[in-house]
């Protein structure tokens, strides 16, 4: 493996500060390393929020941490871009029977495109974030690797980063465990040292949930549960747009008492196709070729790769093909709209790229 970080000498760094302990500690570590540090918080969501990194209190926490560290802090309003690239597609994807990943799209369009462009315009040398992942310089370029803390690893949600972007980004806490990150915050007396982690979609408040949020923006319609093999109608769901391919909860049981699995969603025909667990398994995952992003050297057709289809999902061995992944062992069906991340089969912590799953 190459040199972690691979950054020599002090640079002028813009640090994305969400108001959490990870980004707070990232800023503190960069200061310790002698870099010139400026904090920035993105104002992304103007609606109600009590989760994620979009609440008013999170902005204030970031501002206070910057003051505690003695660095400048700015707030950039990117709410229009957030609506265009994250919220509106999130609603549209659900309406079309797909299941998007808003965190990845936020990273793709906002944090590592719009914010990186802003950093360039303002004369910063690097952009830093508090993600649990590593950038390793090897073979003449920057590579994305899993974070040291496997339980907190966020390389999956960064798997859309290109080599050009990786070369401009710093991930200061990737070499630390979560406990060590909190220890950094404690040592600097930061108010976020004991702050709880954000888990939910930042623009959906707990008071209304996903159903309430989508109901305000699109029609939620019932749908028939149809057995894929026989074509028999075996039940109904109240809101077709809330069903995810691979889902078992709320779809009833078959004659053998097995929970049915959603294998396809047909919003036009108002149907959810279901199957028994063993009949639902797939050994191939198709992806949108236009969504392919390589973090480094592309995979070649026929090359083995480890694939991860959820943020903390178990990596699965597969063979890469032009428009599909051929899995060695069958898995539950993967929801269209989700991202599949490719990891190296020999160096399993190294990310190779990603793509968006299609039916």
Distance separating alpha carbons of residues 158 and 244, to the nearest angstrom: 23
Which one of 53, 54, 103, 202 is the catalytic residue? 202
- Walk me through the domains of the chain, giving residue ranges and CATH numbers: 3-187 (3.40.50.620), 220-280 (no CATH), 282-356 (2.40.30.10)
Distance separating alpha carbons of residues 316 and 307, to the nearest angstrom: 5
Q: Judge whether 106 counts as a catalytic residue.
A: yes
Q: Tens digit of pLDDT for each residue in 96-112?
A: 999 999 999 999 999 99
| H or E element in which residue 304 lies | strand 304-308
Percent of the chain with pLDDT over 90: 88
Mean pLDDT (whole number) for 35-54:
79
Q: Judge whether 202 counts as a catalytic residue.
A: yes
Phi, psi of 335 (to 5 degrees): -70, 125
CA atoms within 13 A on the CB side of 204: 19
Which one of 53, 54, 103, 106 is the catalytic residue? 106
Strands 339-344 and 304-308: antiparallel
pLDDT of residue 6: 44
Q: Tens digit of pLDDT for each residue in 196-255?
A: 887 678 888 888 999 999 999 999 999 999 999 999 999 999 999 999 999 999 999 998
State the chain's mean pLDDT as an integer: 94
pLDDT of residue 52: 53
């Amino acid at each position: 493996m190459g040199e972690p970080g691979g950054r020599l000498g002090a640079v002028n760094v813009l640090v994305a500060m969400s108001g959490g302990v990870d980004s707070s500690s990232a800023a503190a570590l960069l200061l310790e390393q002698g870099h010139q540090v400026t904090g920035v918080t993105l104002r992304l969501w103007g609606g109600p929020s009590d989760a994620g990194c979009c609440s008013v209190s999170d902005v204030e926490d970031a501002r206070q941490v910057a003051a505690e560290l003695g660095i400048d802090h700015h707030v950039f309003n990117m709410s229009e871009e957030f609506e265009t690239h994250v919220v509106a597609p999130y609603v549209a994807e659900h309406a079309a029977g797909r299941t998007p990943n808003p965190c990845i799209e936020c990273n793709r369009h906002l944090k590592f495109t719009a914010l990186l462009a802003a950093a360039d315009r303002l004369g910063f040398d690097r952009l830093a974030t508090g993600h649990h992942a590593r950038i390793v310089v090897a073979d003449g370029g920057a590579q994305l690797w899993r974070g040291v803390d496997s339980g907190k690893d966020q390389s999956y949600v960064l798997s859309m980063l290109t080599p050009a972007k990786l070369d401009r980004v710093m991930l200061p806490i990737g070499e630390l465990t979560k406990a060590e990150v909190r220890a950094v915050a404690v040592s600097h007396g930061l108010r976020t040292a004991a702050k709880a982690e954000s888990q939910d979609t930042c623009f959906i408040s707990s008071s209304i949930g996903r159903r309430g949020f989508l109901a305000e923006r699109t029609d939620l319609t019932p749908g028939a549960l149809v057995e894929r093999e026989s074509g028999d109608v075996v039940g109904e769901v109240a809101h077709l747009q809330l069903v995810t391919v691979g889902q078992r909860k709320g779809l009833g049981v078959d004659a053998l008492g097995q929970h049915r699995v959603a294998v396809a969603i047909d919003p036009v025909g108002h149907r959810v196709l279901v199957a028994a667990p063993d009949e639902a398994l797939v050994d191939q995952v198709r992806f949108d070729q236009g969504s392919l992003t390589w973090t480094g050297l592309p995979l070649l057709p026929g090359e083995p790769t480890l694939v991860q289809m959820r943020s903390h999902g178990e990596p699965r061995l597969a063979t890469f093909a032009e428009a599909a992944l051929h899995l060695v062992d069958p898995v539950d069906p993967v929801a269209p709209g989700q991202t599949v991340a490719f990891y190296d089969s020999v160096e399993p912590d190294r990310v190779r790229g990603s793509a968006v799953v299609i039916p």
